[in-house]
Amino acid sequence: MESGVEELMPRLLPVDDCDLAEDFDPTVPPRTPQEYLKRVQIEAARCPDVVVAQIDPQKLRKKQTVNISISGCQPAPEGYSPTLKWQQQQVANFSAVRQSLNKHRNHWRSQHLDSNVAMPKSEDEEGWKKFCLGERVYSEIDALSDNENLGIDYIKVGFPPLLSIVSRMNQATVTSVLEYLISWFGEKKFTPELGRWLYALLACLEKPLLPEAHSLIRQLARRCSEVRVLEENKNEEQISALNLIICLVSRYFDQRDLADEPS
């Protein structure tokens, strides 16, 4: 048995028998290289050939792997599935927007922001939700009061994704804000404010995608397909916006398994 093990697992540091002092004690720190190697040999000889892990089935059952759905998007409602030509045109338009943004990013970044624009810190989730969506949408207030129609209060209606704003956002911030808005969208309805920001953030997202961004946009596309199916009034403008996001995720960012089949 030992010779078989020797053949399968040759020693990396073969040590011939060496003359050691009669008072050699393997329990004390080695004093010479020969004593050190001899001690290693002795310790290795004492190790069992096979070790069996003791597993507690009760603990194993409590820590099962969580299954994550990797299913595709739900089909569009009958009569609302986008054509292939429409999807290809949206991808071309989106590509042009991204190229223009990259080309002029430094210019827009150098533009001064209005005094009322205070961009939240990257880790401020609630701050970014209010910044993008506005207090009216964030707090789910149905309408503005009459005295608020005299001018635009961006604190209440949200700041639009101006180029001077999104050009200042690095990839970490883009990914974080995208995560915040997708998380909010997971339990809320789709709004024009949300749609504009999702489109702008996708336009700022660099390829190749980081793993977290890859997961986020797939989650976004699936959520859009769920909302699209549940749309009671079949608002064409809203369904078109949802179709657009699904189209960009699936066809521009190469998540083809999520794509709508052409009508």
Given a contact cutoff of 8 angstroms between Cβ atoms, the answer to whether 65 and 53 are in contact is no
Asked if residue 182 is part of any domain, the answer here is yes
Instruction: Quickly count: other Cβ atoms within 10 Å of residue 98's Cβ.
Output: 17
Interval 175-185: pLDDT, tens: 999 999 999 99
Asked if residue 60 belongs to a domain, the reply is no
Is 105 a domain residue?
yes
Of the candidate ranges 20-34, 47-61, 94-108, 212-226, the one whose mean pLDDT is the lowest: 47-61
Split into its structural domains, the chain has a count of: 1
Q: What's the CATH number where 184 sits?
A: 1.20.58.1070
Task: Convert the pLDDT of each residue in 192-240 to its tens digit.
Answer: 999 999 999 999 999 999 999 999 999 999 999 999 998 777 788 999 9
**Assigned domain for 225 exists:** yes
The domain containing residue 209 runs over which residues?
A: 84-112+164-258
Distances (CA, A) of 11 to 41, 51, 146: 10, 20, 86
Residue 211 lies in a domain: yes
d(CA 143, CA 174): 29
Q: Is 5 part of any domain?
A: no
Does 38 fall in a domain?
A: no
| Whether pTM exceeds 0.75 | no
- Decide if 75 is inside a domain: no
